Amino acid sequence: MSIIALLISISLTIALIFLGVFLWSMKSGQYDDTYTPSVRMLFDNDVKRPTEKETAVKAELKK
Amino acid sequence: MTRTDVVAETTCFHCGATCEEIHWNNDKPFCCKGCETVYEILDSNNLCEYYDLNAAPGTKTLAITDTSYAYLDEPEITAKLLTFNSPSFASADFFVPSVHCVSCIWLLENLTKLHPGVVDSKVNFVKKTVHVDFNPAKISLGTVAGLLASVGYAPRITLEQEKKEKPRTDRSLILKLAIAGFAFGNVMLFSFPEYLGIDQADHTLTRIFSWLNVALSVPVLFYSGIDYLRAAVRSFQQKQINIDVPIAAGLLALFFRSTYDIATATGPGYLDSFTGLVFFLLIGRWFQSKTYESLAFDRDFTSYFPLAVNRLDQEGDWKPVVIYHLKKGDTIRIRNLELIPADSILLDASAYIDYSFVTGEAKPVKAKSGDKVFAGGRLIGTAVSLAVEKSTSQSQLTSLWNSDAFKKVNESKYKKIIDRAARNFTWVIMAVAAVTAVYWYMTEPASMWLVITSVLMVACPCALALAAPFTLGSVLRELGKRQLYLKNADVVERMGTINAVVFDKTGTVTHGQDPEVDLVGELDEHELAKVKLLTGFSTHPLSKFVHEYIRKSATGSVDDFRELPGKGIQAHLQGKVYKIGSAAFTGFHEKLDQSASYVFVSIDDEVKGYFMIRTMIRRNISDMIQRLGNKCKALLSGDHETEKQPMTHIFGSHTTLRFNQSPHDKLAYIHELQTSGNTVMMVGDGLNDAGALKQADVGIAVTDDTGVFTPACDGILHGSEITKLDKMLELTRASSTILKSGFAISFFYNAIALSFAVSGHLTPLVAAILMPISSISVVSFSTLAVKWVANQKFNDIN
């Protein structure tokens, strides 16, 4: 039955680690704004460059 | 570019508003120059993805463009606004009320592409703030603010920010909740073997589990539950018994009895019930503490005033200065739509000043050279110079904040329902405990202490303590869905007891900004277009309304344009003489209804017609007033009596109508109502209501845009929802019935548990089953009942 004692200690340790991680994430402000990050991750990193054709059309229009 | 094929309704590519006159750019329609300019900026920086994320994501840029942020570059002001400052790196937080969609976030987080000096920008959507990191060597703070404004996101910088040190969000409740939840889960796990009847041979294992439970419970009592213990001690010191006393007694009984059982190896203890109890109690608190982060309920005049103003210094230059530093005798310059920061004397010939927000007067007031103008007024028209008379904090308006109503620190006169219930409850429990103690002392003295602790344990009013937060928290959410945002759950209870409602007029019953304009007379299309053209040149407030009312596009050459102060405007257009202005000026002599303002139009000295301009009353408001019935006690207006007629029509004869009320008068009236035994709700909007809102038992500020300034209040109501105010009051009243039913349910469970306890049969297993069942049934009853009642109430009028 000593195996149970070992398992219990492992499970408790893991649970404590999770608690610690949660407390850390709380304190570092990760729950302060729950909306913006959900949108931010969907943005492309690079802003779209206009294709050559588009630039040409634009130049045409300006004339 | 010429295009004539105007579609029936063209909407602006930038802001989505209907276009009156269309500005075409790159084949895209824009409603105004402002929107077009923003598009041009974005287009030239390859940021047009802005328009792909959301259709028409922009906000109409109203006259913001002429606001300059140069004053932010004064070292003194810059230092106050920056959150971090070094020669090559600085950060600042801006409050941007116009943030509203995904596109906004995208654009604001790509600021660095607009200007290389911006290092990084992060949006907090909930708080509507942008955190900008920038390189002060490349870009100044004022330019950053100007950059935001140039793309339609003008930051709002007010005097309030000067005070710095915002209160940090309190995270301790969540921390306590997390610890309690963690302990609850694990303790439950370790308690299972006991309940399921583990092999008795493994006694050491159950002992280990029990001691682990004790270890896990210690932080729950001394960290998570400490608030309850403290509150109980405090209530003893104040000699008042509230709900925290039986809770604290129950917590202590549970913890020490369990520890005793475990130490003496007489039983497994009730630690799962104990940790669960604290966990549920904290969930209740968390549910109740719903807050609206982007709204501020405690604003005073400082958040209404701008941070700085242009002052003439000794060398004869206009230099921005923080308005706190204004002294008597300073000369300052105010531009169109800017606020007057301190009581002053007008130096220029004339000016129109809109005091509607400060005094409730709907029409702008005309001031002549040498007249006194008051802090809080908004200048309409061309820029003027002023000589400061009094500093901001001593101005007429701000003296309101020295009133007693602002000094009392939220001490609630109202005794909460829960505390009244708890007091009776506690006495009953004490009596039961005493009787059982006597009984067991006589029959079986050995188990007397065990029974007493059992009684205290089950008497712990967990369900009772949950009924209130869940009922009130649900009401808070239901009202929030209908755009009444309350400061906290206590307001819900107070709202339920309201029996007198007092309204403000300007901005509350009527629209503050958009008046109702009617055209009387025979002006044809061309003539209307000319009138629009001419009124566009005038800065008189009435001209502005007429100009906006006429939906024609107008061009043409104007000769001999003259604006005659106090009379009107006059010009030659295609050989005809146009006169637009007062009755006398245009030669109109009939008598008209005095409650409205008029603008007359004459062409070649023949009066063609006139525009009647009345403040517009909000739609359907009279139905709401009727449903309120006798509860609607008064209308307090800072405006003149000219509006009395239409107001009597809406409010009926039982309502007191008072006009020409100063902010102090309003406050005094509310106080008078309160001393004659009424519980008063004040509904108002402007700074002139600030005192009354504070004095009233519940002060509700009405606003059409939650981004703009609202005075200190208990709740913020969206203007369009004011027609539901009576239903909202009914809901809060119903909530106290729901609350009492919730109490009844929890008493029922307490009675069952008590019968187990007094007879000495309260095993840990019984406690572990009863406690969550009672809590869950009370919680689900409260939330569902509130939801159901809210749907019933609001379906009537939708």
* Chain mean pLDDT for chain B: 80
Opening angle at CA A32, ends A30 and A37, nearest 5:
65
Question: Which CATH number is B306-402 given?
Answer: 2.70.150.10
pLDDT digits (tens, 9 = 90+) for B517-545: 778 777 777 788 888 888 877 767 777 77
Whether residue B260 lies within 8 A of chain A, CB to CB, comes out as no
pLDDT of residue B349: 80
Chain A nearest CA to B613, separation (Å): 44
Whether residue A47 lies within 8 A of chain B, CB to CB, comes out as yes
Q: In what order do the strands lie in the sheet with B568-573?
A: B510-521, B606-617, B597-603, B576-581, B568-573, B559-564
Report d(CA B539, CA B521) in Å as an integer. Answer: 24
Q: Which of B247, B241, B211, B215 is nearest to B229 (CA)?
A: B247
pLDDT of residue B37: 81
Tell me which DSSP letter residue B101 carries. Answer: S
CA B368 to chain centre: 37
Partner residue opposite A47 with nearest CB, options B113, B124, B202: B113
Question: Is pLDDT above 60 for B427?
Answer: yes
- Locate the chain A residue with the closest alpha carbon to B294: A33
Number of Cβ atoms within 10 Å of the Cβ of B345? 15
pLDDT in tens, chain A (63 residues): 678 778 888 988 999 999 999 999 888 878 877 788 888 888 776 655 555 555 666 666 655
Residues shown for chain B? 798
Helix then strand then coil, % of chain A, to nearest 5? 65, 0, 35
- Locate the chain A residue with the closest alpha carbon to B109: A40
Fold agreement between B64-157 and B483-510+618-732: no
Report d(CA B547, CA B536) in Å as an integer. Answer: 6
Question: Is pLDDT above 50 for B1?
Answer: no
CB B195 within 8 A of CB B765: yes
| CATH class of the domain defined by B64-157 | alpha beta
pTM: 0.77
Report d(CA B399, CA B397) in Å as an integer. Answer: 5
Report d(CA B163, CA B393) in Å as an integer. Answer: 14
pLDDT of residue B2: 40
Tokens of B500: 């007198």
CB B292 within 8 A of CB B480: yes
| Burial track B52-88 (b if 16+ CB lie within 10 A, e otherwise) | ebeebbbbbbeebbebebbbbebeebbeebbeeeeee
Segments making up each domain of chain B, as ranges = 64-157, 172-289+419-471+733-795, 306-402, 483-510+618-732
List residues bridging with B95 in a β-sheet: B129
Question: Is pLDDT above 90 for B183?
Answer: yes
Higher pLDDT, residue B420 or B223: B223
Report d(CA B272, CA B29) in Å as an integer. Answer: 66
Interface test with A, best of B1, B46, B102 (most A CBs within 10 A): B102
pLDDT digits (tens, 9 = 90+) for B447-464: 778 778 888 877 777 777
Residues of B in contact with A12 (CB under 8 A): 186, 212
pLDDT digits (tens, 9 = 90+) for B387-426: 888 877 777 666 666 666 665 544 455 567 777 777 777 7
CA B785 to chain centre: 26
pLDDT digits (tens, 9 = 90+) for B241-280: 777 888 888 899 889 989 998 898 887 888 888 998 899 9
Among positive and negative, which fits the CA dihedral A55, A57, A62, B3? negative
Whether residue B24 lies within 8 A of chain A, CB to CB, comes out as no
List residues bridging with B121 in a β-sheet: B132
pLDDT of residue B221: 93
Tell me which DSSP letter residue B631 carries. Answer: G
CB B370 within 8 A of CB B348: no
Opening angle at CA B350, ends B348 and B351, nearest 5:
105
pLDDT digits (tens, 9 = 90+) for B366-384: 888 888 888 878 887 778 8
Q: Which of B639, B659, B687 is nearest to B397 (CA)?
A: B687
CA distances from B778 to B5, B154, B157 (A): 64, 47, 46
pLDDT of residue A14: 93
Q: Which of B721, B692, B770 is nearest to B504 (CA)?
A: B692
Q: Give chain A's radius of gyration (CA, Å).
A: 26
Residues of B in contact with A60 (CB under 8 A): none
Number of Cβ atoms within 10 Å of the Cβ of B597? 19
What SS3 state is found at B576? strand
pLDDT digits (tens, 9 = 90+) for B54-95: 777 877 665 444 456 777 887 877 877 888 888 888 888 888
pLDDT of residue B64: 46
Number of Cβ atoms within 10 Å of the Cβ of B164? 9
Interface test with A, best of B125, B199, B224, B292 (most A CBs within 10 A): B125
Q: Return the residue matching tokens 């109503």.
A: B405
Opening angle at CA B696, ends B690 and B697, nearest 5:
135
Number of Cβ atoms within 10 Å of the Cβ of B517? 19
Long-range contacts (CB closer than 8 Å, 24 or more residues apart) made by B647-656: B647/B505, B647/B509, B649/B622, B650/B509, B650/B617, B650/B621, B650/B622, B650/B625, B651/B625, B652/B625, B652/B626, B654/B630, B655/B625
Chain A nearest CA to B280, separation (Å): 18
Residue B327 sits at φ, ψ, to 5 deg, of -125, 165
* Chain mean pLDDT for chain A: 77
Question: Is pLDDT above 50 for B6?
Answer: no
pLDDT of residue B4: 41
Beta strands in B45-117 (DSSP E): 82-86, 89-95
CA B30 to chain centre: 32
Q: Which residues contact B480 (CB under 8 A, 6 or more apart)?
A: B290, B292, B486
Reported confidence tier of residue B588, pLDDT bands at 50, 70, 90? confident
Report d(CA B301, CA B55) in Å as an integer. Answer: 37
Percent of chain B with pLDDT over 70: 88
pLDDT digits (tens, 9 = 90+) for B639-679: 777 777 778 888 887 888 888 888 888 888 988 988 888 88
Partner residue opposite B125 with nearest CB, options A22, A36, A58: A36
Reported confidence tier of residue B223, pLDDT bands at 50, 70, 90? very high
pLDDT digits (tens, 9 = 90+) for B737-792: 998 898 888 888 888 888 888 777 777 778 778 878 888 888 899 999 999 999 98
What SS3 state is found at B116? coil
Burial of residue B705 (number of CB atoms within 10 Å: 0-12, 13-18, 19+) = exposed
ipTM of the complex: 0.75
pLDDT digits (tens, 9 = 90+) for B112-153: 888 888 888 888 888 788 888 988 888 888 888 888 888 888
Number of Cβ atoms within 10 Å of the Cβ of B595? 16
Residues of B in contact with A22 (CB under 8 A): 178
**B295-299, B586-590, B714-718: lowest mean pLDDT where?**
B295-299
Interface test with B, best of A47, A58, A61 (most B CBs within 10 A): A47
Partner residue opposite B178 with nearest CB, options A19, A36, A40: A19
Number of Cβ atoms within 10 Å of the Cβ of B166? 9
The mean pLDDT value for B724-732 works out to: 90
pLDDT of residue B7: 43
**Could you write out the DSSP letters of every residue in B15-41?**
T-PBPSSPEEETTEEESSHHHHHHHHH
Q: Which residues contact A24 (CB under 8 A, 6 or more apart)?
A: none
Q: Return the residue matching tokens 């309409």.
A: B380
Question: Is pLDDT above 80 for B687?
Answer: no
Q: Which residues contact B736 (CB under 8 A, 6 or more apart)?
A: B417, B493, B496
Tokens of B180: 């309690």
Report d(CA B667, CA B696) in Å as an integer. Answer: 8
Residues A44, B178: C-beta atoms closer than 8 Å: no
Residues of A in contact with B171 (CB under 8 A): 26-27
pLDDT digits (tens, 9 = 90+) for A24-36: 988 887 887 778 8
Residues B105, A36: C-beta atoms closer than 8 Å: yes
Question: Which CATH number is B483-510+618-732 given?
Answer: 3.40.50.1000
Report d(CA B423, CA B239) in Å as an integer. Answer: 12
Question: Is pLDDT above 80 for B10?
Answer: no
Reported confidence tier of residue B3, pLDDT bands at 50, 70, 90? very low
User: Would you tell me which residues 78-107 of chain B have a C-beta closer than 8 angstroms to some C-beta of chain A?
Assistant: 102, 105-106
Higher pLDDT, residue B181 or B203: B181
Residues shown for chain A? 63
- Which helix (H) or strand (E) covers residue B465, if one does? helix B462-481
